[in-house]
Chain A
């Protein structure tokens, strides 16, 4: 391990977690990212961290706070990603843009998670997912000094690592392939949850060990905000990047259809209801922006703290941060 001097576990709580040497290297990484985009004339933008709308994704929890003025109280959400604000900028005529800053998720801290983290998100007008994957690959080669990535479709990954054709496999065959014990009734859960478990447990640890690995063409049922593939509507133009066991980035050839976007927001809230979690009011301003017209574009979000973990071979996200949650 290079440059991974471990802190003793009992480092005092007042003290910065990241080493002074890594503090400087992290600043250099951010500078390198900025010069990468500057050379391509992609503009850095800021977005509001506090917003009137949250994310509807059933598996992402928003931090919510209240602004109380006299008798009126307004709920405000800490952004989980700058996506909605950036799409409103794109529809307003911003051109190609990137954001490098904080995002927030209401979830447990862990080896790969901190509820407050640094995200790099960028949008390229007239790119599709394939073109954007190549740009992500170029950025990773630049900042991590790694070989060009390998590319594998979601379908091929299952075929190669698990021996299952997900186009034809039954629910029972997928569950059998998990070869695991569950405390809950796995027969009752959605096909997507079983696919995600298979992916996390049997594929993720094996891919992207030597060089980053792009997994593309996710199932349409996991499209999130990606376009559905015209030639094969079972799949969507969504990709993810994995490297050394870390999920590093998630990108789409962006959905521009306001009606379809409204339908997906409603579907998210239906899943939220089934799971017994709070409903989130869909972002009407994003829908209005799509109605006005979002330029054809592709976008991707990348975890910068994880990128720094990889750059310096650090074992925990805590060691990339000045004051991780337990010390914040």
Chain B
């Protein structure tokens, strides 16, 4: 917890001069604002732990303002706002599972699975015989996301995408 916000530690460097006090230079991401900052701590200094919990929930629907998710076992529902959703909005498919980070019960981050299978709604017809996927072409997915796919991929096919890089991986295995 820092400035009332739960944070993620990205890097932590320990510095100890031969004569003098040790300190740590820490790179932190604030989970709510998404801000990345560097702070200096005295070595051994402690910080309040954040009451943060990750849960796996399936996506239900959007009511225009909030996105609703449900726990498939308890049927408990939570509503995430636009800020919590961020870029994940382009991977949202109903009934798919997402990791929701809850802080004091409120969703602050929604993370998609690393790989998702999505249908292509629009892409230019490719050239026959191109199997190496040299240049690639843009394809629009059912969620609205645009990814580069090999030329042999056609509209209507379902592909596997890496959500961390936003890149095409393969045709989805049925």
Instruction: Tell me if B41 is interfacial: C-beta within 8 Å of chain A.
Output: yes
A59-B22 contact, Cβ under 8 Å, with A107-B16, A110-B14, A247-B17: yes
Interchain CB contact (< 8 A) of A193 among B16, B20, B41, B45: B20
Nearest Cβ on chain B to A60's Cβ, whole angstroms: 8
Q: How large is the interface on B (under 10, 10 to 19, 20 to 34, 35 or more residues)?
A: 20 to 34
Q: A196–B17 Cα gap in the complex (Å)? A: 8
In the complex, the chain A residue whose C-beta lies closest to that of B21 is A59
Instruction: Tell me if A183 is interfacial: C-beta within 8 Å of chain B.
Output: yes
Interface centre among B20, B22, B45 (most CB of A within 10 A): B20
In the complex, the chain A residue whose C-beta lies closest to that of B20 is A196
Chain A residues with CB under 8 Å of chain B are 57, 59-60, 107-108, 110, 113, 180-184, 192-193, 196-197, 199-201, 222, 224, 240, 247, 250
Q: A199–B39 Cα gap in the complex (Å)? A: 17
Q: A67–B56 Cα gap in the complex (Å)? A: 55
- For A108, the chain B residues whose CB sits under 8 A away are 14, 16, 22, 43
Nearest Cβ on chain A to B29's Cβ, whole angstroms: 14
Nearest Cβ on chain A to B101's Cβ, whole angstroms: 23
26 pairs of residues in contact across A and B, judged by CB atoms under 8 Å: A59-B20, A60-B19, A107-B16, A108-B16, A180-B40, A181-B38, A181-B39, A181-B40, A183-B26, A183-B39, A183-B40, A183-B41, A183-B42, A193-B20, A196-B17, A196-B20, A196-B21, A197-B23, A199-B17, A200-B15, A200-B17, A200-B23, A222-B19, A240-B18, A247-B17, A250-B18
Q: A133–B129 Cα gap in the complex (Å)? A: 73
Instruction: Tell me if B37 is interfacial: C-beta within 8 Å of chain A.
Output: yes
Instruction: Tell me if B132 is interfacial: C-beta within 8 Å of chain A.
Output: no
- For B16, the chain A residues whose CB sits under 8 A away are 107-108, 110, 113
Q: A183–B7 Cα gap in the complex (Å)? A: 13
Q: A180–B13 Cα gap in the complex (Å)? A: 15
Nearest Cβ on chain A to B136's Cβ, whole angstroms: 34
* CB atoms of B45 and A184 under 8 A apart: yes
Q: A153–B17 Cα gap in the complex (Å)? A: 18
* CB atoms of A59 and B19 under 8 A apart: yes
- For A250, the chain B residues whose CB sits under 8 A away are 18-19
* CB atoms of A181 and B14 under 8 A apart: no
- For A222, the chain B residues whose CB sits under 8 A away are 19-20
The 5 closest A-B pairs by CB, nearest first: A196-B20, A183-B41, A181-B39, A110-B14, A182-B40
Nearest Cβ on chain A to B13's Cβ, whole angstroms: 8
Determine the main DSSP class of B at the interface with A: strand
- For B20, the chain A residues whose CB sits under 8 A away are 59, 192-193, 196, 200, 222
* CB atoms of B39 and A182 under 8 A apart: yes
Instruction: Tell me if B127 is interfacial: C-beta within 8 Å of chain A.
Output: no
Nearest Cβ on chain B to A75's Cβ, whole angstroms: 23
In the complex, the chain A residue whose C-beta lies closest to that of B38 is A181
Query: Other CB < 8 Å A-B pairs besides A183-B2, A199-B17, A250-B19, 10 of them?
Result: A57-B19, A59-B20, A180-B39, A181-B38, A181-B39, A182-B39, A183-B26, A184-B45, A196-B21, A222-B20
In the complex, the chain B residue whose C-beta lies closest to that of A247 is B18
Q: A250–B16 Cα gap in the complex (Å)? A: 14
In the complex, the chain B residue whose C-beta lies closest to that of A222 is B19
* CB atoms of A183 and B45 under 8 A apart: yes
* CB atoms of B19 and A184 under 8 A apart: no
- For B45, the chain A residues whose CB sits under 8 A away are 183-184
Within 8 A of A (CB), among B40-85: 40-43, 45, 47
Q: A57–B37 Cα gap in the complex (Å)? A: 33
- For A247, the chain B residues whose CB sits under 8 A away are 17-18
- For B19, the chain A residues whose CB sits under 8 A away are 57, 59-60, 222, 224, 250
Nearest Cβ on chain A to B149's Cβ, whole angstroms: 35
Q: A240–B17 Cα gap in the complex (Å)? A: 11
- For B23, the chain A residues whose CB sits under 8 A away are 197, 200
Nearest Cβ on chain B to A310's Cβ, whole angstroms: 16
- For A192, the chain B residues whose CB sits under 8 A away are 20
Q: A59–B40 Cα gap in the complex (Å)? A: 17
- For B22, the chain A residues whose CB sits under 8 A away are 59, 107-108
In the complex, the chain B residue whose C-beta lies closest to that of A250 is B18
Q: A108–B12 Cα gap in the complex (Å)? A: 13
Q: A107–B20 Cα gap in the complex (Å)? A: 13
Nearest Cβ on chain B to A212's Cβ, whole angstroms: 16
In the complex, the chain B residue whose C-beta lies closest to that of A81 is B18
